[in-house]
């Protein structure tokens, strides 16, 4: 699939983005959509709004970030990225994020942050394996009740991803996306929450929150959106179980540094590393 990425700078283009928000997330309330005038003003004052267009000229995806400040340094807060379902297997999201990185660096910004659902395995794979983010913050129900059917039935808990654009591990990930090596330390990392087979979906297993190895693995199911629609009670069980794990581990000094996806087995695993075990950030090569 061929597509081009370019900056969006007109009110007409901002209206296309708002329409795409509704198409992707299925919002029932206009309150959940970023209005075109807000998109327009933020772009004029340091925001980044990029669109992906197919060969017919149709907008098939976008990424949007606004200027921010963290600990006295300028950043970009990436509020939204969306791609139409039919275009998601063609690398559109990755290309949008890399274009966002180029634009941020040209502005003198080397940190981009955003939130994402820790139970969305495909997003986790993109963010960790392809982009090289690090996560050490977990926010409970950060967006409250959403009118999107994609968020139905579970609190909008989110990871806060930190994308340090010039960090060596980030440069390695974006330049060598196919190179993923688990060294012996990762292979020996204990699994905090072995899941259980249970029909169509994996079931959360009991978690051992007393584990204190230098590296830990935390398991999640794939196809969480479909689980929310088909078995909301199980989706909520996964949300609350993983919330307890991540909040406990982050409070004890761990952070998420990688993600391993196995679509065949219907599961993914986060790699958590204790900061004391990270001399020279060596874990990022794993």
DSSP symbols for 117-152? -TT-HHHHIIIIIII--EEEEEETTTT-S---GGGT
Same domain as 200, residue 169: no
In the chain, the percentage of residues whose pLDDT exceeds 90 is: 78
pLDDT of 145: 74
Same domain as 252, residue 150: no
d(CA 105, CA 262): 33
How many domains are there within the chain?
A: 2
The helix (run of H) or strand (run of E) holding residue 83 is strand 73-83
Same domain as 125, residue 207: no
Same domain as 198, residue 154: no
Give the domain-ending residue among 143, 175, 207: 175
Q: Which of 177-186, 196-205, 215-224 has the highest mean pLDDT?
A: 215-224
Same domain as 157, residue 263: no
Same domain as 241, residue 220: yes
pLDDT, tens only, 59-81: 999 999 999 999 999 999 999 99
Q: Which domain holds residue 224?
A: 184-285
We report the CATH number of the domain holding residue 109 as: 3.40.630.30
Q: How confident is the model at residue 281 (pLDDT cuts 50, 70, 90)?
A: very low
pLDDT of 150: 62
Of the candidates 36, 242, 5, the one whose C-alpha atom is nearest the C-alpha of residue 124 is 242
Same domain as 265, residue 156: no
Same domain as 54, residue 188: no
Q: Which residues contact 116 (CB under 8 A, 6 or more apart)?
A: 123, 124, 127, 158, 159, 161
pLDDT of 79: 96
Give the domain-ending residue among 118, 144, 175: 175
pLDDT of 153: 72
Q: Cβ-count burial of 127 within 10 angstroms (0-12 exposed, 13-18 middle, 19+ buried)?
A: buried
In the chain, the percentage of residues whose pLDDT exceeds 70 is: 91
pTM metric for this prediction: 0.90
In the predicted model, what is the mean pLDDT of residues 235-248?
A: 97
Give the domain-ending residue among 147, 175, 203: 175
pLDDT of 147: 63
């Amino acid at each position: 699939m061929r597509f081009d990425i370019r900056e969006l700078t007109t009110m007409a283009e901002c209206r296309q983005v708002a329409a795409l928000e509704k198409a992707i997330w299925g919002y029932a309330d206009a309150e959940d959509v970023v209005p075109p005038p807000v998109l327009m003003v933020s772009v004029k004052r340091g925001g980044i709004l990029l669109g992906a267009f197919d060969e017919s000229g149709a907008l098939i995806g976008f990424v949007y970030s606004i200027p921010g400040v963290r600990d006295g340094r300028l950043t970009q807060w990436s509020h939204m990225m969306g791609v139409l379902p039919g275009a998601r297997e063609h690398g559109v999201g990755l290309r949008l994020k890399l274009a966002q990185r180029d634009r941020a660096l040209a502005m003198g910004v080397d940190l981009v942050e955003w939130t994402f659902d820790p139970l969305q395995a495909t997003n986790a794979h993109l963010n960790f394996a392809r982009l090289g983010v690090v996560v050490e913050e977990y926010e409970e129900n950060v967006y409250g009740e959403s009118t999107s059917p994609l968020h139905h039935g579970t609190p909008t808990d989110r990871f806060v991803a930190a994308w340090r654009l010039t960090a060596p591990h980030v440069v390695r990930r974006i330049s060598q996306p196919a190179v993923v090596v688990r060294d012996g330390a990762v292979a020996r990392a204990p699994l905090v929450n072995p899941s259980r087979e249970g029909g169509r979906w994996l079931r959360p297993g009991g978690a051992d929150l007393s584990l204190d190895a230098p590296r830990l693995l935390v398991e999640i199911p794939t196809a969480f959106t479909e689980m929310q629609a088909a078995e909301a009670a199980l989706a909520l069980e996964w949300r609350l179980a993983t919330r307890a794990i991540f909040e406990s581990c982050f409070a004890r000094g761990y952070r998420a540094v990688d993600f391993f996806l196995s679509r065949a087995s219907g599961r993914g695993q986060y790699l958590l590393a204790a900061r004391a075990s990270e001399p020279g950030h060596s874990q990022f090569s794993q």
